[in-house]
Amino acid sequence: MNTREYIEDYLKQTEEIARSLSKEEIEKAVNILRKVREDEGRLFILGVGGSAANASHAVNDFRKIGGIETYAPTDNVSELTARTNDEGWETTFTEWLKISHINEKDAVLVLSVGGGNENASKNIVAALKLAKEKKAAVMSIVSRNGGYSKEVSDACILIPVVDESRITPHAEGFQGILWHLLVNAL
């Protein structure tokens, strides 16, 4: 495939994904975020890898544009690496959320390609278990089958797989599109 064909194919897939996103799940997420803002709750955005970078950017937008007190545990690399070293990777997000006193006025937004399972993103799975225990709302923007995040989310925006070789770029690219949509729909 030459460069021009690759570009056209990638953009065609992007259009296909955009058309197939669940408007109902997006609306549920907007309503959850509005309630968090009205209740003066907080939004915690969880992501690892490229999704952690997206989480950092999204924090800015939800705070500055959306007017919601928002944090990402991955923004504090000193605490993240100390917790990883001292307590293990799986508890990095749960221990951070415990110190933040996550509660029923708060929400967690997961940005993840796979959504977490017994083999990958175990820290996300553990954090979601804690969030549900504390009665915080859970939202996710995920791909593949959505993993554990999809199972427990109050709103799950699933980015469909249209090409196995492009799961990650499409998933992480659409995270940006969708959080910008959510922020600006508030």
Pair of tokens at residue 81: 């690496």
Any bridge partners for residue 107, and if so which?
Answer: 43, 137
Q: Domains of the chain by range and CATH?
A: 3-185 (3.40.50.10490)
> Distance between CA atoms of 134 and 10, rounded to whole angstroms?
41
CA neighbor of 102 nearest in space, from 140, 125, 74, 133: 133
Residue 29 has pLDDT above 90, yes or no: yes
pTM: 0.97
Cα 63 to its chain centre, rounded Å, is 16
- 151-178 pLDDT, tens digit per residue, is 999 999 999 999 999 999 999 999 999 9
> Distance between CA atoms of 79 and 91, rounded to whole angstroms?
12
- 53-103 pLDDT, tens digit per residue, is 999 999 999 999 999 999 999 999 999 999 999 999 999 999 999 999 999
Pair of tokens at residue 186: 């508030």
